Copies of this chain bind each other. A is one copy, B any other.
Amino acid sequence: MQDVFSFIEQNREMYIRWLQQICQQPSVAAQNRGMKETANMVEQFITQIGGESKQLETSGYPVVYGEFPGESEKTLSFYNHYDVQPEDPLDLWETPPFGAEIRDGRMYARGVADNKGNLMARLAAVHAYTQVRGKLPTRVKFIVEGEEEIGSVHLEEFVERYHDRIQADGCIWEFGYKNADGRPQVSLGVKGMCYVELVCRGANTDLHSANAAIIENPAWRLLWALNTLKTPDEKIQIKGFYDKVATLSDDDAGMLEQMIYNEESTLEKLGLKSFLLDLSGIPLKEKLIFQPTCTVCGLVSGYTGTGSKTVLPAEARVKLDFRLVPDQDPHEIFSLLRAHLDEHGFSDIEMEGFTLEHPARTPLNNPLTRAVVNTVKDIYGMEPTIMPMSPGTGPMYILCQNLGIPAVSVGVGNFASNNHAPNENVIIEDYIQGIKHMAAIFEEFAKEA
């Protein structure tokens, strides 16, 4: 691979410019800013490096699809997204969010880590490999959606409509990071999600709080309902919630054992003294990876400004995010939650579902995982840490697991990439290493049985 690696080194400035170019193009799906321009730009990149590309229409933003021929019929696919999070709060950025300026070896831009850095590293790897060797060892497909940051709202429709285009022998998933100590993480799945909003209503208008002596307060009612959902020992009290949680296999236990999680640096960065329930070591990692959650993401009722206002609220709302693990089913969890509320006397509390996503996993022992893991050592000079599943969520079930496609996450992000936050960044050397790593994966995956 030294020929390809040398080519990458010789062209590093060009690949850095590619990344700057796409990062300087805003693409905020939530605000419909620059979406068409960015989809066109991705399509052009694919075409310019020798692929066939097309924007596949959905009811939302199009998915940019690309295909490259290979020496074999074996197919490796890439799932990425061209949309980014909104850049606010603007005043916390040290350089403009769409400036893509380089400082101290890092490029700073909204979307550079999530997910344009990974997308461009993968395109650059295709470019370098084909320039040096003429043809890729396997066929390669790019599936670059435009709605990941708004919940992949039309991806299920896309999968149904373009079923054929998605088939592959393995898929490199959109994200990937290095640990605090610089060790690459390889992760083999994502948690599922059941994201709901609960609404409790009282009188038809906010009232003077003197009335609270005799008029029910929906904020208290919602608090009491929530209190039945999870106890301070973090046990979720919904009947049947844990029934389908898979027990850990020996492989899982082994992966947890080798998985490196930098406890001290995480606590220090977050200004915390300890993790939840004082966990550490294996139990901490097991909770992070293999346990479902029930998280209050948002809570609002009554007067929330500064100072005091004596109001009896008319309404209280909570946004709850359940992260699910195999083999929990988000639709079933949604129903169990409804049943729980009803059984506890809260049938008046209304429920709205926003995101229902299945968890997904890829086995440790499969050709793609082996190809990714085996190549890490050559490129990074150390073993990766393998996360059996990411604690995050994505549409991996509908794009991969449901179609029998193994999916592996690895990428150019770092421990302090600040995804979704000000000063999002990628370390330039990580980006160049990421290009080399992808090129090496092409070859290794082609060799794998």
Name A208's contact: one of B210, B213, B299, B419 (CB within 8 Å): B419
Flag A272-289 by CB within 8 Å of B: 1 or 0 each.
Answer: 100110010000100111
Interface size, A (range): 35 or more
User: How many Å from the CB of A120 to the closest CB on chain B?
Assistant: 23
Residues of B within 8 A of A203 (CB): 270-272
Asked if A209 contacts B297 (CB within 8 A), the reply is yes
Q: Is the CB of B293 within 8 A of A223?
A: no
B224 touches A287 (CB 8 A): no
**B232, B271, B302, B392: the one within 8 Å of A297 (CB):** B302
Q: Mark A184-219, 1 if CB is under 8 A from B, else 0.
A: 000000010101010000111101111111111101
Consensus secondary structure, chain A interface? mixed
Instruction: For the complex, give the distance between the alpha carbons of A209 and B312 in Å.
Output: 30
Smallest Cβ distance from A89 to chain B, in angstroms?
Answer: 11
A10 close to B (CB within 8 Å): no
- Residues of A near any B CB (own CB < 8 A): 151, 191, 193, 195, 197, 202-205, 207-217, 219-220, 223-224, 226-227, 230, 232, 270-272, 275-276, 279, 284, 287-289, 291, 293, 295-305, 307-313, 316-317, 319, 321, 323, 354-355, 390-393, 419-421
Stoichiometry, as copies per complex, reads: 2
Q: Of all chain B residues, which has the CB nearest A325?
A: B213
Q: How far is the CA of A393 from the CA of B208 in the complex (A)?
A: 11
Residues in chain B near residue A202, CB distance under 8 A:
272
B contact residues around A191 at 8 Å (CB): 210
The residue among A195, A210, A217, A390 with the most chain B CB atoms within 10 A of its own CB is A210
CB <8 Å contact, A223 and B296: yes
- In the assembled complex, the Cα of A165 lies from the Cα of B220 at a distance in Å of 44
Kindly list chain B residues whose C-beta atoms are within 8 Å of the C-beta of A296: 217, 219-220, 223, 301-302, 313, 316
B213 engages A288 (CB within 8 Å): yes
Query: Given A216-B276, A230-B220, does the pair A308, B271 have CB atoms closer than 8 Å?
Result: no
What chain B residues lie within 8 Å of A215 (beta carbons)?
A: 270, 272, 275-276
Q: What is the distance, in angstroms, from A207's C-beta to the closest C-beta of chain B?
A: 7
CB distance from A227 to the nearest CB of B (A): 4
Min CB–CB distance A50 → chain B (angstroms):
36
* A–B Cβ pairs within 8 angstroms, 27 of them: A151-B308, A191-B210, A195-B308, A204-B270, A208-B419, A213-B288, A213-B289, A213-B291, A214-B284, A215-B276, A216-B272, A217-B295, A220-B295, A223-B223, A297-B313, A298-B303, A298-B309, A299-B299, A299-B300, A299-B301, A299-B313, A299-B316, A300-B301, A300-B304, A302-B319, A308-B354, A309-B319
Report yes or no: B310 in contact with A321, Cβ–Cβ below 8 A: yes
A142 CB to closest chain B CB (Å) equals: 25
Contacts of A214 in B (CB 8 A): 275-276, 279, 284, 287-288
Contact yes or no, A298 B291, CB < 8 A: no
Minimum CB–CB distance for A101 against chain B, Å = 23
Whole-angstrom distance from the CB of A93 to the nearest CB of chain B?
A: 15
Residues of B within 8 A of A390 (CB): 210
> Which of A213, A304, A313 is most buried by chain B, counting CB atoms within 10 A of its CB?
A213
Most chain B CB within a 10 A radius of its CB, from A275, A276, A392: A276
B223 A420 Cβ-Cβ under 8 A = no
Chain B residues whose C-beta falls within 8 Å of the C-beta of A288 in the assembled complex: 213-214
